[in-house]
Structure 1
Amino acid sequence: MSKVYASATEALDGLLFDGMTIAAGGFGLCGIPELLIAAIREAGTKDITIASNNCGVDGFGLGVLLESRQIRKMISSYVGENAEFMRQYLSGELELEFNPQGTLAERMRAGGAGIPGFYTATGVGTVIAEGKDHKDFNGKTYILETGLVMDLSIVKAWKADPSGNLVFRKTARNFNPPAATCGKICVVEVEEIVPLGSIDPDHIHLPGIYVHRIIQGQHEKRIEQRTVRKREAV
């Protein structure tokens, strides 16, 4: 069966349900699956738990699912660029599970690798460690973190071939590879689908065994924080 679908709506057909869990790749506005996010909003799926480094910004990325009140819980490491996220969290409308950034990435990777849990020193002695198992290794304390296995992964890549072998572009290779592996089903949006065999095997970042559905589309690629220097006097 072909993995290539004509649109984000078609690629998500039969996969969405209320109360589901989703792993979303990207970092801020870099490498986010914006077309799939828009299709989830259009579908109206509710009470979603999303694992992602952050929740986009107001009005774009995962932020649109906050505005439509479709997200029940976020598993994230950074939420500082989204005023609606802050408002919903402080008002008790949104549940938040904070994770150190590396821990969140490793939880995704572990889930994709079939590893139920791992010990890390990150977070020891902080609120992150509360209620978690502690164990000493070589005189140092570590806490137990669990691997994440989600109902669905949505990711963004630069190129794919029809088998789903993926190439990510530069910093867009952030949370996308681990997020792709930890979903029971992985749907990926790409900028270009190239013929089978045209990607050098050594250049493949994620093998197609993890990818179930692919769409190709146009992407907005917004700049999250534009910084310019003052014009110098001539």
Structure 2
Amino acid sequence: MTNKVVASTADAVVDVESGSSLAVGGFGLCGIPDRLIAAIASGGAENLEVFSNNCGTDGHGLGILLEGKRIRRVTASYVGENREFARQYLTGELEVELTPQGTLAEKLRAGGAGIPAFFTPAGVGTPIALGGLPWRYHADGSVALASPPKEVREFRGRRYVLEESITADFALVHALIGDTEGNLVFDKAAMNFNPLAAMAGRVCIAQVERLVEPGEIDPAQVHLPGIFVDRVVHTGPQDKKIEKRTVSAAAGTGN
């Protein structure tokens, strides 16, 4: 048995250096590895490349690294609620590759499975396949760097675009339960990108709310086997944030 537990989040990310690429789990603010991100923000790493569904929100998650100008490039499917993300992109401070959400998920999964590329119908006939999507702007708003065209082939009468898989230097994920050997259980929507990001990282670092001994997790309940995980840090319950609060009027108010 291999004990993969490290003492602190700082120890867990100690070798994340400038220029590193990060595959980061979570969806919006759900299931994000917030303590690991904060530990990187406390260090000196900059010029980072990030693969994630989105880039957090202003002041939360990856938004912390973004506000500190620590991120050079982001591959994501959603700009969302992060005003600083949009501002840096539109002013030429940040390079952004927007990717269909399902394609991004499969690019991460394929990278973890050792598959270099795959064909998908998503994006055929659009700038995703044709090229020309602005990846980086000049400060004056003109396009500094645009996406190249991608190979399109026909299979059984339908066209598909070739997408290359993603691998990253590090994967950062959040799990509800993890054992000391790295077997992980994710909670509800945190299943969306955390397992895929974990697979795509050459070194996978997991923060877990509850740390247990080997054998305490029913093998049938394991969402990600420990073979994919290199380091585990026990962070305790997550301070969950709400990305966008929506409430209904109180009953009987007439509003």
Task: Check whether TM > 0.5.
Answer: yes
Q: C-alpha separation between the residues in 2 aligned to 1:162 and 1:24?
A: 21
> Is 2:208 the counterpart of 1:207?
no
Matching residue of 2:143? none
**Deviations, residues 148-199 of structure 1 (Å, cap 9, x unaligned):** 0100000000001111000001111110001000110000001001121011
Q: C-alpha separation between the residues in 1 aligned to 2:252 and 2:24?
A: 45
Give 5+ residue unaligned stretches, structure 2: 132-148
SS in 2 for 1:35: helix
SS in 2 for 1:136: strand
TM-score (norm 2): 0.90
Q: CA deviation at 1:84?
A: 0.3
Give 5+ residue unaligned stretches, structure 1: none
**Deviations, residues 61-108 of structure 1 (Å, cap 9, x unaligned):** 000001000000000000121000011000000000011000000000
| Seq. identity, % | 52
Matching residue of 1:53? 53
CA RMSD of aligned residues (A): 0.9
Q: C-alpha separation between the residues in 2 aligned to 1:226 and 1:134?
A: 42
Q: CA deviation at 1:2?
A: 2.7
Q: C-alpha separation between the residues in 2 aligned to 1:75 and 1:227?
A: 28
Equivalent residue runs for 1:55-74 within 5 Å:
55-74=55-74
Q: CA deviation at 1:6?
A: 1.4
> Is 2:5 the counterpart of 1:4?
yes
Q: C-alpha separation between the residues in 1 aligned to 2:102 and 2:161?
A: 14
Q: Say whether the 8 Å CA contact 2:17–2:44 is kept in structure 1.
A: no
TM-score (norm 1): 0.98
Q: C-alpha separation between the residues in 2 aligned to 1:9 and 1:68?
A: 18
Matching residue of 1:230? 249
**Deviations, residues 95-132 of structure 1 (Å, cap 9, x unaligned):** 00011000000000000000000000000011111210
Q: C-alpha separation between the residues in 2 aligned to 1:231 and 1:115?
A: 52
Q: CA deviation at 1:232?
A: 2.7
> Is 2:193 the counterpart of 1:160?
no
Matching residue of 2:150? 132
Q: C-alpha separation between the residues in 1 aligned to 2:222 and 2:252?
A: 48
